[in-house]
Amino acid sequence: MIRNPVLHIIRLPAVKTSIRAALTERISSWDPKDPSKRGIPSQRLINLYDKWGHGKFGMILTGNICVDPWNLESAGNVVFSKENDGPELREAVQKLSAAMKQDGALAIAQISHAGRQTPEVVHAHPFSCSDVQLKAKRRFMGFGKPIPLSLEQIKTEVIDRFVFAAKFAREHGFDGVQIHAAHGYLLSGFMSPTTNTRTDKYGGSPQNRMRVIQEVFENIRKEIDASTGFLVGVKTNSVEFQEKGLSIADAKLMCRMMERCGFDFVELSGGNIEIPAFRHMRDSTRKREAFFLDFAEQIRPVFEKAIVYVTGGFRTAPAMVNAICDGITDGIGLGRPITAEPDLPAKILRGECLSAADTKLDPDDYMQTATASNMQMGQMGKRPYAELKNVCDDIADLSNPKEAENYKKAAEQYFKEMKETADRGEPIHGVLEYVNIVS
């Protein structure tokens, strides 16, 4: 057995130091015209979380659960809204939350509004804080000219929708919610001076740009008191990596406001569609693992009560342990490594490994690596855990050079098909359906 440094963590119980960070799945229901038929969790999605539910995570977060069926990050997002509420949604969500908690993890719904990052083929004129259009493309799809929210709409189309989603999550088995205020989505857009050009009480100063997040939190807590034990966390950028974007100074000030609000936990991340976090970072694993920590270390001191998690770049147990023992973070968020190994925390805790598998893909090729993770999630969803001999059954092993090369060829063909779909004005729904060549 490998000597396991995770077992020596003393700040928190070891099993509670890892979280399954949010990753978009795109495998729930979608209808191009009827919002009532959007965002119903599929059996494939439930099977997917059934695997992570056996991985010894302290906390499992869903991918984007959108609060508005029109303003989606992607076709196939789960949606909690009045428009699609009904017996089918309620039954599926109850099954989803139960699958996430198989071995004692906390089930957390990440609730989100895509804002100006809604693909144009999903909604041509999405709501946003301002009318600043996103010029970049994602998965070959562009983004429409956003409509600035009025003061009344901030209440009815943002705050009220987040409150509904939080209450729905609690009523259907979730232990808490995470408000998504990172990566350029609506609430993150309010925080950033590059996208928030408002001149009213929601724009200008950092305090004003943070106001809507405070109001979302306060209104959720009016409906679900902290005494219930229901958690309310937030995901926020520690840095945006772009000129005139959210600065460290602003991030620290806003995080101080989050601490005063009373958020139970805060997940620090970074980047957005225009500037992904690791773009142009052709560095070693060690440097990548330290990347967010440099920013998180500057922000961490403002939090006295909230539990802090850092997500991004972690691959090795020693780096995770050092980050926790050095007091930079209370826990580690894992994303892409756990689409290859949904039981990675369990393996580390058992002393079977000290790092994630060494995937034979270019870490700087965002399209290729993101598609690989989505593909692996689709494979994880094919069968429930009870039918498997090993939780990693069905998942392509991209640490195998032969499998990785075959995947790259399949991905190139898939990208051509994605472009054709986008050129037809249709949204991308689902994942690359890949057949493994190495058993």
Q: What is the CATH number of the domain that holds 213?
A: 3.20.20.70
Q: Mind listing the pLDDT tens digit for each residue in 33-83? A: 999 999 999 999 999 999 999 999 999 999 999 999 999 999 999 999 999
Q: Mind listing the pLDDT tens digit for each residue in 148-158? A: 999 999 999 99
Mean pLDDT of the chain: 90
**Which has the minimum average pLDDT: 110-124, 284-298, 364-378?**
284-298
Q: Mind listing the pLDDT tens digit for each residue in 195-230? A: 999 999 999 999 999 999 999 999 999 999 999 999
Contact at 8 Å (CB) between 434 and 396? yes
- Give the model's pLDDT for residue 272: 53
- Reply yes or no on whether the pLDDT at 7 is more than 60: no
Residue 433 falls within a domain, yes or no?
A: no
At residue 56, the 3 state secondary structure works out as coil
- Reply yes or no on whether the pLDDT at 345 is more than 50: yes
Residue 376 falls within a domain, yes or no?
A: no
Contact at 8 Å (CB) between 50 and 97? no
Residue 291 falls within a domain, yes or no?
A: yes
Residue 389 falls within a domain, yes or no?
A: no
Residue 213: name the closest of 191, 197, 193 by CA. 191
Position with higher pLDDT, 296 vs 132? 132
- Whole-angstrom Cα distance, residue 305 to residue 307? 6
Residue 388 falls within a domain, yes or no?
A: no
Residue 190 falls within a domain, yes or no?
A: yes
Contact at 8 Å (CB) between 153 and 127? yes
Q: Could you tell me the sign of the dihedral formed by the alpha carbons of 338, 339, 343, 344, in that order?
A: negative
- Whole-angstrom Cα distance, residue 167 to residue 90? 12
Neighbours of 293 (CB within 10 A): 22
At residue 34, the 3 state secondary structure works out as coil
Residue 45: name the closest of 115, 104, 96 by CA. 96
- Give the model's pLDDT for residue 294: 79
Residue 372 falls within a domain, yes or no?
A: no
Query: Percentage of the chain surpassing pLDDT 70?
Result: 89
Q: Any residues with CB less than 8 A from the CB of 435 and at least 6 apart, and which?
A: none
Residue 430 falls within a domain, yes or no?
A: no
- Give the model's pLDDT for residue 312: 81
Domain that holds residue 327: 5-363
Single pTM value for the model: 0.93
> What angle is formed at CA 429 by the lines to CA 235 and CA 19, rounded to 5 degrees?
30
**What Cα–Cα distance (Å) separates residue 203 from each residue in 179, 276, 285, 320, 374?**
20, 25, 39, 37, 36
Q: Mind listing the pLDDT tens digit for each residue in 110-143? A: 999 999 999 999 999 999 999 999 988 888 899 9
- Reply yes or no on whether the pLDDT at 270 is more than 70: no
At residue 171, the 3 state secondary structure works out as helix
Q: 243: pLDDT confidence band, cut at 50, 70 and 90?
A: low
Position with higher pLDDT, 390 vs 363? 390
- Reply yes or no on whether the pLDDT at 180 is more than 50: yes
Helix axes 43-52, 366-380, angle to 10 degrees: 100
**Which has the minimum average pLDDT: 33-42, 163-172, 354-363?**
354-363
- Give the model's pLDDT for residue 11: 33
Q: 248: pLDDT confidence band, cut at 50, 70 and 90?
A: confident
- Whole-angstrom Cα distance, residue 223 to residue 207? 24
Which stretch, 53-57, 136-140, 286-290, 311-315, has highest mean pLDDT? 53-57
Q: How many domains does the chain have?
A: 1
Q: 237: pLDDT confidence band, cut at 50, 70 and 90?
A: confident
